[in-house]
Amino acid sequence: MQGNRNILNRIDWVTVILWVVMMIMGWLNIYAAVYNEQHTSIFDLSQRYGKQLIWIFAAVVLAVFVLVTDNKLYYFFAWFIYGFFIFLLVLVLVVGKEINGAKAWFEIGPFSIQPSEFAKFATGLALASFLNSRTQSGGLGVMIPSVAIIMAPVLLIAVQPDMGSVVTYFAFFVVLFREGLSIYFFISAILAIALFLLVLLFGNVPVALGLIGVAFIVLLVLSGYSLALKALGILAAAGAGSYAAGHYLAGLGTGIIIIIAVLVAGVVYAWYVYRRRLALPAIVYAFLLGGILYLFTVDYVFHKVLQPHQQTRISITLGMEADPYGEGYNLNQSLISIGSGGFAGKGYLNGTQTKFKFVPEQSTDFIFCTVGEEWGFIGSSVVIGLYVWLLLRLIMLAERQRTTFVRAYGYSVFALFLVHFFVNIGMTIGVMPVIGIPLPFFSYGGSSLWGFTILLFVFLRLDAARSEYLG
């Protein structure tokens, strides 16, 4: 019982206070978002602010509960908890209730609970536990199973489909980065994203030609113009041949012809390169082929796999579509309300945009509109400042751990908050696509509030017991 008695001295009070302040500010904004003179009691349970009070109260109870549990519990039961939530994610696909087209909710009496909010916590634990068990960090033998741990819930949530939650799981890659995942992995990922955007903006054929151009320049610089020109010559010949054959004989599209040309050229080129034992040009070719196959896959995924509204959202964010028919309605209304807040805001409860319910999901995903409209740039900056404080605090706490387990878990918490913070606020002001994820501790809703509270307090509990661990 030594640990429990001293827990009050050992937990990080700065984080706890930030948590309380955020919940209070969140509640004030929810109250403003659904405010109506006719319902005056703040305890009115028919209103969202009344319900949110209950959620907050329950969150405090939950936090205390987490703090008095034995910290070893999380370490020893990490896999059990992970398995349990994976099971729930499977179960929700079977017996879940469909809301807004996603089978993501369990309905228990009057309450709806979203298991994906809690599965983040479980994934963080499992990932931390796995990384802790490996002494050799950074290698593929560690990283491939780690990615598998992350992808299992991601795939199940993608089936629901709840793309918003899927995006948040990419936060765990920050953990892998901190624990030594190769820089090249991230560079490839960034390149992949860049290619993805380029393909959407310019179409696959111009980008494919562009890639060939880049490969040519790289060869030119690294191996001299003789080799580069030869390679280009081979490719051009292969291209002309495939074009003649493919276009006139089989009626194939330009995209397929480019792929065939690169493959055919590759055979000739491989023979040439092999004879001279040239490693570098082979790598350049491998990148070119990989890039071209990837970009045609992207094109296919975007047009065939993503749902129309998701395509539209991405297109709007990229500024490719003017959208007169209102897929961007949410975003427009959100921009108007935040923009009209100005420097100092319109004052608490005086927002006009937010009152008329022009902004949908006002108290949940778009709660930041109320902040922006009623508190202005000053208020928005304060909220962002609080988050930066919390995030830096979490890094600090994670770095003072002696075990990989707690540090990796701490970074999981940090990264999830970072992604939610940036994506949620970003979408309300048009720097991110509209992805339906909540702003931690601000948005209305029990599942998300409890999910984030558990996430945070398990870390605080583990942190409080850090001296018990041996490094």
Positions in the binding site for other proteins (CB under 8 A): 36-38, 135, 137-138, 174, 177-180, 324-326, 329, 332-333, 335-336, 338-343, 352-353, 355-358, 360, 372, 376-377, 380-381, 384-385, 387-388, 391-392, 395, 399, 411, 414, 418, 421-422, 425-426, 429-431, 471
Q: How far is the CB of 409 from other proteins (least distance, A)?
A: 15
Cβ neighbors of 251 (< 8 A, separation 6 or more) are none
> Quick one: 16 or 429, whose CB is closer to other proteins?
429
> Quick one: 37 or 277, whose CB is closer to other proteins?
37
Q: How far is the CB of 177 from other proteins (least distance, A)?
A: 6
> Quick one: 36 or 46, whose CB is closer to other proteins?
36
C-beta separation of 337 from 373 below 8 A: yes
Q: How far is the CB of 434 from other proteins (least distance, A)?
A: 14
> Quick one: 273 or 335, whose CB is closer to other proteins?
335
Q: How far is the CB of 184 from other proteins (least distance, A)?
A: 14
> Quick one: 233 or 360, whose CB is closer to other proteins?
360
Q: How far is the CB of 255 from other proteins (least distance, A)?
A: 31
> Quick one: 35 or 85, whose CB is closer to other proteins?
35
Nearest Cα residue to 442 out of 453, 454, 455:
453
Residue 160, Ramachandran bin (φ over 0: left; ψ between -120 and 50: alpha; else beta): alpha
Q: How far is the CB of 359 from other proteins (least distance, A)?
A: 11
Burial of 227-260, coded b for 16+ CB within 10 Å and e otherwise, reads bbebbbebbeebbeebbeebeeeeebeebebbbb
345-354's contacts with Cβ under 8 Å and 24+ in sequence apart are 345/372, 345/373, 345/374, 345/375, 345/376, 345/377, 345/378, 345/379, 346/373, 346/374, 346/376, 347/374, 348/28, 348/32, 348/374, 348/375, 349/32, 349/35, 349/374, 350/374, 351/32, 354/32, 354/33
**Cα separation of the two ends of the chain:** 23
Cα distances (angstroms) measured from residue 343 to each of 271, 379, 442: 66, 9, 21
> Quick one: 266 or 328, whose CB is closer to other proteins?
328
